[in-house]
Amino acid sequence: MEGVLHQIFSGLANGCIYGSVALALVMIYQSTHHINFAQGELATFSTFIAWALMQAGWPYWAAFGATVAISFVAGLAIQRIILRPVERAPVLTNVIVFIGLLVIVNALSGWIFEHTIKAFPSPFPQKSMLATRFFSAHELGSAAVMVCVLLALYAFFRFTPVGLAMRAAAQNPESARLVGIRVSWMLGVGWGLAAAIGAVAGMMVAPIVFLDPNMMSGILLYGFAAALLGGVDNPWGAVIGGLIVGVLENLLGAYVIGTELKLTVALVLIVGVLTLKPSGLFGKPVVTRV
Amino acid sequence: MSSLLEVRKLCAWYGATQVLYDVDFSLDAGRVTAILGANGAGKTTTLRALCQMVRTSGSIVFDSQRLVGKATEGVVRLGVAHVPDGRGTFTALSVEENLKLGAHVRRDKADVARDIEKMYSRFPRLGERHRQQAGTLSGGEQQMLAISRALMLRPKLLLLDEPSFGLAPLVVAEIFAIMRTINQDDGVSMLLVEQNARLALELADHAYLLETGRVALAGTSEQFKADESVRRSYLGY
């Protein structure tokens, strides 16, 4: 019993990370109806930046903050420079751009930081008070960080004028323009936020999976599964989807299919959700009035 | 009287299809001008062209600024509020959030809050429902919300696209009465697109009749109302 509980709790901790990757995907999907396939590679690159800063002697939280800020600006810049020209282009064009970004960023990570696997520190020391019977200190700490990110995002969208403008722009771009909202810039801010969330997720997962240029490829698949399971247009769904995927993955991996086949859980979920309930658990089914 | 809006040789396209052909009109500050015409005459397109939501050529001068080539949000920032076809409600947001969005480009927070209260006293039903999701409002309430949202910009010019569309006659009368007070008390100029010509001519000082993308007739509302043949053949009453 103790073992099962442990698997569940550690699944929840992983789930927080999958949930935040899913949230980053949803953030861009909501306003553009595109899935950013490069989300994982961007997060990996961000994590490398944090690693480099720490190698240069920065303390953990300073490097953490700087990385989040740099990632935000980089995400914004990518949208402005690379994606804005294809804003009105067909979906396929955008998909190709995303895949191009994925390959480029992945290659850049390898070129600049090399392919050797690196250890990435956790800010939550194993011997600390945080460690309990069911959670390791890092699991509990990273879950707490993710919850803080979620609350900050919620407050941003709910209580700030820019957040309100972003919701309006995502919902009804034409009306948003008619009240003077610079819709295209709102997409840029959305990209910035997604990149920042991805950076946090990357830094939280790196101590567990170790840092290398392909670190996020598996995590991104779980993120896709989480986003689809929760309903790809629903931010809360993404988070809950993440938690469910995290727990499922751990339980099935430990007791049913073995750790080698864990990633299959994500793939089966993706295919399953898309065939059985494409709108996910909490998404709105798309209905067109004719 | 100076003209607030001068439109010369305005052409507009949807893709490769031309919809407006050399449309000329002007609007004096503080006045209400109506654009009349049948379905497909180009009324909505004229408003959309003013806001640069369709491809246009020609010249549009508003308040001594050239609008052609500007972004829609840039036109709005000059003080042109547009109540679009279909009302453009942010249906998933609350009534109050819709109003706040109307004032998105304003920086005077205290005044914005006061203006929201003003809208609630003008349209008490919006005040009662200020936390409600805007998509759950009735058609008439959504039209009131759309007009209020546009007024939150404190516009110099209000563009209204078929404010009577799909509403019960009593509600229409209420909305038109309020539009009249907005024009008279706040001095907001209006460009009104309407199928209901009788109603529009009651409110407007001037009118233009569009026919397949061209101005077929221009004059004062009195002239339109007095000309029986025009009324019969174009305005249907």
pLDDT digits (tens, 9 = 90+) for A93-108: 999 999 999 999 999 9
pLDDT digits (tens, 9 = 90+) for B187-197: 999 999 988 88
Residue B145 touches partner A, C-beta closer than 8 Å? no
- The CA dihedral of A289, B51, B40, B168, to the nearest 10 degrees, is 60
Helix, strand, or coil (residue B34): strand
As given in the structure block, the two tokens for residue B25 are 């009109």
Residue B88's closest chain A neighbor by CA?
A175
Q: What is the pTM of this model?
A: 0.87
Distances (CA, A) of A278 to A193, A228, A284: 26, 8, 10
pLDDT digits (tens, 9 = 90+) for A175-200: 999 999 999 999 999 999 999 999 99
Percentage of residues in chain B having pLDDT higher than 90: 80
For residue B164, the distance in angstroms to the closest alpha carbon of chain A comes to 19
Are A242 and A219 spatial neighbours (Cβ–Cβ below 8 Å)?
no
Q: Give the Cβ contact number of residue A132 at 10 Å.
A: 11
Instruction: Determine the CATH number of domain B3-88+154-235.
Output: 3.40.50.300
Contact B92 A171 (CB under 8 A): yes
What's the rounded Cα separation, in Å, for the pair A110 and A183? 35
As given in the structure block, the two tokens for residue A267 are 């793939």
A168 CB neighbours in chain B (<8 A) are 90, 93, 97, 101
Contact B73 A180 (CB under 8 A): yes
pLDDT digits (tens, 9 = 90+) for A267-284: 999 999 999 988 888 877
User: Which of B92, B104, B153 lies closest to A165 in CB terms?
Assistant: B104
Give the pLDDT band of residue A139 (cuts 50, 70, 90).
Answer: confident
For chain A, domain boundaries? 2-276
As given in the structure block, the two tokens for residue A39 are 């989300």
Are A226 and A19 spatial neighbours (Cβ–Cβ below 8 Å)?
yes
First-last CA distance in chain B: 32
B73, B133, B152: best mutation site toward chain A, by most A Cβ within 10 Å? B73
For residue A226, the distance in angstroms to the closest alpha carbon of chain B comes to 24
Q: Domain A2-276 falls in which CATH fold?
A: ABC transporter involved in vitamin B12 uptake, BtuC (1.10.3470)
As given in the structure block, the two tokens for residue A172 are 């009804």
Reading chain B (237 residues) residue by residue, the pLDDT tens digits are: 578 999 999 999 998 999 999 999 999 999 999 999 888 899 999 999 999 999 999 999 999 999 999 999 999 999 999 999 889 999 999 999 999 999 999 999 899 999 999 999 999 999 999 999 999 999 999 999 999 999 999 999 999 999 998 899 999 999 999 999 999 988 999 999 988 888 899 999 999 999 999 999 999 999 988 888 888 877 776
B44, B55, B70, B104: best mutation site toward chain A, by most A Cβ within 10 Å? B104
For residue A24, the distance in angstroms to the closest alpha carbon of chain B comes to 21
Are A146 and A19 spatial neighbours (Cβ–Cβ below 8 Å)?
yes
Are A67 and A46 spatial neighbours (Cβ–Cβ below 8 Å)?
yes
Are A58 and A67 spatial neighbours (Cβ–Cβ below 8 Å)?
no
Contact B53 A175 (CB under 8 A): no
Looking at residue A287, its pLDDT comes to: 62
Residue B72 touches partner A, C-beta closer than 8 Å? yes
Tell me the residues of chain A between 176 and 195 that have a Cβ less than 8 Å away from chain B: 176-183
User: Which of B81, B82, B100 lies closest to A164 in CB terms?
Assistant: B100
